[in-house]
Amino acid sequence: MEGQNKKLISAKEIAKKFNIPYSTVNHYTNLGFLSVVKRKGNMRFYEETKVKERLKRILHLKDEGYPLRLIFKMLNGR
């Protein structure tokens, strides 16, 4: 079945692995950049592959000087 072998990563693990503040993970989640795929208590889990691809693009565009509002439009085709 599709989707069962996807590796999940917590918000805390994302912050550590990608060297960004935990508050940034929360902010990106609240803005809709990162999608929560599972919750367990207060913990949120994300699909690791999608997070990696998405953060790579977001951080690159931020380094290029794009504001988050425009990055959101670019990533979501709006």
Q: What would the pLDDT profile of 33-53 be if each residue is shown by its tens digit?
A: 999 999 999 999 999 999 999
Q: How many helices (H) and strands (E) does the chain have?
A: 4, 3
Query: What's residue 78's pLDDT?
Result: 66
Q: Residue ranges of the chain with pLDDT lower than 50?
A: 1, 3
State the first-to-last Cα distance of the chain, in angstroms, to the nearest integer.
31
Q: Give domain limits for the chain.
A: 8-75
DSSP secondary structure letters along the chain: -TTTTPPEEEHHHHHHHTT--HHHHHHHHHHTSS---EEETTEEEEEHHHHHHHHHHHHHHHHTT--HHHHHHHHTT-
CATH 1.10.1660.10 applies to domain 8-75: yes
Query: What's residue 6's pLDDT?
Result: 87
The pLDDT > 90 percentage for the chain reads 85
Query: What's residue 76's pLDDT?
Result: 83
Query: What's residue 4's pLDDT?
Result: 58
